[in-house]
Amino acid sequence: MNLNNIESQKKNNNLGKTYKLCSQILIDKVYKEGSEIKNFPFVLKYQSTTLPKGAAAFQIVFVVPKKRFRLATTRNPIRRYMREAIRMNKHELESILINNNQQLALFLLYLGKSEINFIQFEQKINVLLKHLVKEIKHEN
């Protein structure tokens, strides 16, 4: 394999700053008006939108409610698991969005009352992303 191919694969596997949804206005809009996909313990809200230049095909915000997990030391690992599961399974969604010349704002909410292991996180989020891809294909 070529060294350039290896580096490009590493770059494509990142979930960096360009994927982070920062606009409070856009976050509120997605939360209130966005379409919803549920797969307990996750809720994925999404809305087709125009993102700033240089942004990725989608931007996402990860939410773990403080009401359910009072300590940041319990919220942060859950948020990290969510981010890692999205990072590992984002490729199909990203390719569909790029092919359709579309951008999405995503809001991923964890509603569980207890922590689950990473394998369950990845399976549940993978189901959510596949369902989202079906929804996007159905719209077009």
Is pTM, for the whole model, over 0.75?
A: yes
> What is the per-residue pLDDT across 7-36, written as a single tens digit (0 to 9) for each?
444 457 888 999 999 999 999 999 999 999
Query: Taking a C-beta distance cutoff of 8 angstroms, is the pair 60, 106 a contact?
Result: yes
SS (H, E, C) 69-113: CCCHHHHHHHHHHHHHHHHHHCHHHHHHHHHCCCCEEEEEEECCC
Residue 17 phi, psi (nearest 5) = -60, -35
- Domain membership of residue 2 (yes or no) is no
> How many angstroms separate the CA atoms of 60 and 27, rounded?
9
- Domain membership of residue 42 (yes or no) is yes
What pLDDT, on the 0 to 100 scale, is given for residue 11? 53
> What is the per-residue pLDDT across 58-77, written as a single tens digit (0 to 9) for each?
999 999 999 999 999 999 99
Question: Which residue from 58, 62, 30, 66 is spatially nearest to 46, judged by alpha carbons?
Answer: 30
Tally of domains in the chain: 1
pLDDT for residue 107 is more than 90: yes
First to last CA, the chain: 36
- Domain membership of residue 98 (yes or no) is yes
Residues 6+ apart with CB under 8 A from 34: 45, 46, 47, 105, 107
Domain that holds residue 107: 17-139
- Domain membership of residue 69 (yes or no) is yes
Query: Taking a C-beta distance cutoff of 8 angstroms, is the pair 75, 66 a contact?
Result: yes
- Domain membership of residue 10 (yes or no) is no
- Domain membership of residue 77 (yes or no) is yes
CATH number at residue 75: 3.30.230.10
